[in-house]
A and B are shown apart, each in its own frame.
Chain A
Amino acid sequence: MKELKRILLVEDSENDIELTLEALSEFNLANEVVVVRDGAEALDYLFSRNQFASRPAGVPVVVLLDLKLPKVTGVEVLRQIKSEPLMKVIPVVIVTSSREEPDLRRCYELGCNAYVVKPVDFRQFADAIKKLGCFWAILNEPAPGIKRGN
């Protein structure tokens, strides 16, 4: 039985969200995509806190994390995820506009699993999203002990 694999999308730009969802749906990645719009919400969701206290159990198979976020930055979210024993096994893919070296270095040092730069070209962008979705949600084996969402 194919289980639904939840994707957590952390992105503050509505347009980018729409584009991402459009790309994902284009390829029939009928996954449950949870969208949060800032770093605090991302952490709340992951740690089942506050407004997400009663969310369905389970962790996402991948977190698509933008760096430029209000409230809590993407880097901070990454750090928290990767320092929490239960959370750090969750793959985090940084999806951002910046190709700046400092950003790259910092994210990899903190343990991100991949770093993808958002191209301006929509076709390329969609392509990238598709590949990410295919890989992490379908191909990749999640870490054991992570409850599959239902």
Chain B
Amino acid sequence: MTEMPQNPDAASGPIFSRMRTRLILLVLLPVIPMLALTFYTNLEERQNERARVREGAEALSQLAAAKEENFVKNTRQLLATLAEFPFLVFSTNRMICETHFTNLCRLSPDYQNFGLIEADGTLFCSAVKTNGRVNVSDRSYFQRVVETRRFAIGDFQVSRLTHLPSLNFSYPVLNGEGALVRVLFASLKLSLLNDEAAQILLPNGAVINVIDRTGTVLAQFPEPERWVGQSLTNIPFVQQILKQHKGTFEGPGIDGVPRLYAVTPIRDGNAPSLFVSVGIPVHVSFARADFILVRNLTVLSLVGLLTLAAARFYGQRYILKPVVALVAAAKRLADGDLKARSGISYGGGELSQLARAFDGMADTLEKRQVEIERAQAAINQINSELEQRVKDRTAQLEGLNRELEAFSYSVSHDLRAPLRHIDGFAQMLRKNSVGALDEKSTRYLGVIGDSAKRMGNLIDDLLAFSRMGRREISDVVVDTGALIREIIAELETDLRGRSIEWSIADLPQIRGDSAMLRVVWVNLISNAVKYTRPKEAARIEIGFENNSSTETIFYIRDNGVGFDMQYADNLFGVFQRLHRDAEFEGTGIGLASVRRVINRHGGRTWAEGQLNEGASFYFSIPKPTQRKL
């Protein structure tokens, strides 16, 4: 018998009910919340980052704005101071103005131009010499200051005078009545804004730009050359700034890179004129959070793998292997190998207990098997002894039977002979003594002879009766109807001169010993014939009853002399008679023989009678299923 391979990998049932799968799932279970937590933490981090970035951007933007605003403040201060000098601002001498302004430019290299403008917009004088009449009434810085009569910041422009990109500031010159007579202006080098912006420490990928209220880029860092001077009112970024004025928003910048922007306005008076925005790329800000995520995931995976491996190893060694071993042992046990044991060492845990219990059970089974085999051997021994005894007893009985056979043989020879002699010589004596003997003596001789004959009959009957009991009973189909017809035919001589009305039913076939059953019917029928002799019209009825599932009952009814029911018990006794020999001949063995045969067939015999009315004799034959012959 091939051993079941103790392979823990062998498939044993649907995958999810396998122990190993369950173990693995169990181990991985905590990993799932961990994973969730990791991702959630990452999200949190990102959000925090974003917030931080926003704050950073805002701070930076405010810082930048503050720095840029310095220029505005300084310029304002300067212009306000200049406005206090009437000799300057109300001067009509162009040359002196120009000289002053030129000196001013030299002193303040941040500015590329200073100047005065008449109330109608014509340029009076400026540090940068002009060759013709210049009108600046279209410039926003001029229009603003005229409108508000306060310090104003202009928009991006390319100066007509210097042909350089510049940002102009204006200051109103008011007369004694407070009406505007002239406008002081200063033209700031735009590069300064850029330089200032550039100095701010920006994180990677961040940008600073300064936009005027028309949407033109005044300063940009990095790549100022690319963007400065461009009017970008179409770009959503610029639109957002102009709309929002202040605060933070996310979106693609001028260069298309998505960033988080913080905007800070610089005002002149009330309305914001310049917008300083700092943008920090979002992905950069998330770099750290993502890094942490990756780190955590890696660690988690490693841990998960390690745990899996540990669980697999543990499960294999401490759970699966013993379980598989137990299963195999159980199978071997079931197949008949009673020496099969778990093979698991007895430690402490539940599996050890199981193994111990299993081994204990196997021990018990083995022991019991030994006991069973022993008992079986004992039974076999007893059986063969019994068989031997049966054989001996059978031999004994057969011996006895043979003895009886010999006995009856002897009887049939040896007892008959003297009887024959008695009768014979009595007859011969009678013959010889014809005339010599008187009537009484003759009668005596007759009695002697008759007695001898009677004894002969008795012997014959006894022999027949004994043979009935000793013969082995056979089990064949007996056609009762045919048998009876045969018997009646054989009784022809006895029936001569008799008028008997026969009423015979359609008798069934039964199973039994045909010779013995013949004896039964011969006896019963000849009895019926004999005891109806006194009746003129004899009627003999033979029938059967088939109402029971266990036996068939036969009967023979006659209207003969009947008998007194009082003596019914004696009817079937050996040599028992209810009539005198003078009335009806017979030895009284007939019914005894009937009873003997029927008993051997497992049936019953009984009779009913009424004096002078008739008699009925019954016997039952068990049906084949009931037969115990």
Chain A residues close to B by CB (< 8 Å): 13, 15-16, 18-19, 22, 67-68, 96-100, 118-123, 125-126
Contacting pair A19 B412 (CB below 8 A): no
Rounded to whole Å, the gap between the CB of B521 and the closest CB of chain A is 21
Shortest CB distance B451–A (Å) = 11
Residue of A nearest to B423 (CB): A122
Contact B421 A16 (CB under 8 A): yes
What are the 7 tightest A-B residue pairs by CB atom distance, in nearest-first order? A120-B456, A122-B424, A15-B421, A19-B424, A122-B427, A97-B416, A122-B423
**B409 CB–A CB distance under 8 Å:** yes
Q: Does B115 lie at the interface of the complex (its beta carbon under 8 Å from any beta carbon of A)?
A: no
Interface residues of B in 558-593 (CB under 8 A from A): none
Partner of B412, one of A13, A99, A119: A99
CB of B167, distance to nearest CB on chain A (Å): 160
CB of B459, distance to nearest CB on chain A (Å) = 8
CA distance A15 to B426 in the complex (A): 12
- CB under 8 Å from chain A, chain B span 387-418: 408-409, 412-414, 416-418
Is B426 within 8 A of A97, CB to CB?
Answer: no
Q: Return 23 A-B CB contacts under 8 Å, by A number.
A: A13-B417, A15-B418, A15-B420, A15-B424, A19-B425, A67-B413, A68-B413, A68-B414, A96-B413, A97-B413, A97-B417, A99-B412, A100-B408, A119-B456, A120-B416, A120-B419, A121-B423, A122-B420, A122-B424, A122-B425, A122-B428, A123-B427, A126-B424
- B455 interfacial contact with A, CB 8 Å: yes
Interface status of B533 (Cβ within 8 A of chain A): no
Residue of A nearest to B457 (CB): A120
Whole-angstrom distance between the alpha carbons of A125 and B417 in the complex? 11
CB closest chain-A residue, reference B464: A99
**Knowing A15-B425, A19-B425 touch, does A120 contact B420 (C-beta < 8 A)?**
yes
The reply to whether B453 and A120 form a contact with Cβ atoms under 8 Å apart is yes
Inter-chain contact B453/A118, CB cutoff 8 Å: no
- On chain B, the residues within 8 Å of A18 by CB distance are 425
Specify which of B409, B414, B425, B455 is in contact with A120 (CB 8 Å cutoff).
B455
Beta-carbon contacts under 8 Å, B107-149 to A:
none
Q: Please report the number of residue pairs spanning A and B whose Cβ atoms sit closer than 8 angstroms.
A: 67
Give the Cβ gap from A63 to chain B, nearest Cβ, in Å. Answer: 19
- Quote the shortest CB–CB distance from A108 to chain B (angstroms): 17
Q: Which residues of A contact B428 (CB under 8 A)?
A: 19, 22, 122
User: Which single member of A16, A100, A123 contacts B409 (CB below 8 Å)?
Assistant: A100
Q: Considering the complex, give the chain A residue whose CB is closest to the CB of B449.
A: A122
Closest Cβ of chain B to A48, distance in Å, is 30
B456's contact among A19, A98, A121, by CB below 8 Å, is which? A121
Q: Is B452's CB within 8 Å of the partner chain A?
A: yes
Given contacts A119-B456, A120-B419, A120-B452, contact A125 B424 (CB under 8 A): yes
Query: Known contacts being A13-B417, A22-B428, A97-B417, is A120 close to B412, with CB within 8 Å?
Result: no
Distance between Cα atoms of A45 and B456 in the complex (Å) = 34
CA distance in complex: A72, B425 (Å): 28
Closest to B452 in A: A120
A85 to B275 alpha-carbon distance, docked (Å): 165
What residues of chain A lie closer than 8 Å to B419, measured between beta carbons? 120
- CA A122 – CA B421 in complex, angstroms? 8
CA gap between A16 and B424 in the complex, in Å: 9
In the assembled complex, the CB of B183 is this many whole angstroms from the nearest CB of chain A, namely 172
A16 touching B412 by the CB < 8 A rule? no
CA distance A97 to B409 in the complex (A): 10
Chain A residues with Cβ below 8 Å from B426 are 122
How far is it, in angstroms, between the C-alpha of A68 and the C-alpha of B419 when the chains are bound?
16
What residues on B are CB-neighbors of A121 within 8 Å? 423, 449, 453, 456
CA separation between A8 and B454, bound complex, in Å? 31
A119 to B409, Cβ gap below 8 A? no
Q: Report B453-487 CB contacts with A as 1/0, cut-off 8 Å.
A: 10111000000000000000000000000000000
Say yes or no: A98-B424 contact (C-beta < 8 A), given A16-B417, A120-B416, A120-B452. no
Distance (whole angstroms) from the CB of A64 to the closest CB of chain B: 15
Residues of A within 8 A of B417 (CB): 13, 15-16, 97, 118
> Min CB distance, B124 to chain A, in Å?
180
Distance, CA A143 to CA B437, complexed state (A): 48
A125 engages B413 (CB within 8 Å): no
Q: Nearest CB to that of A12 among chain B residues?
A: B417
Query: In the complex, what distance in Å separates the CA atom of A68 from the CA atom of B423?
Result: 20
CB A55 to nearest CB in B, in angstroms, measures 29
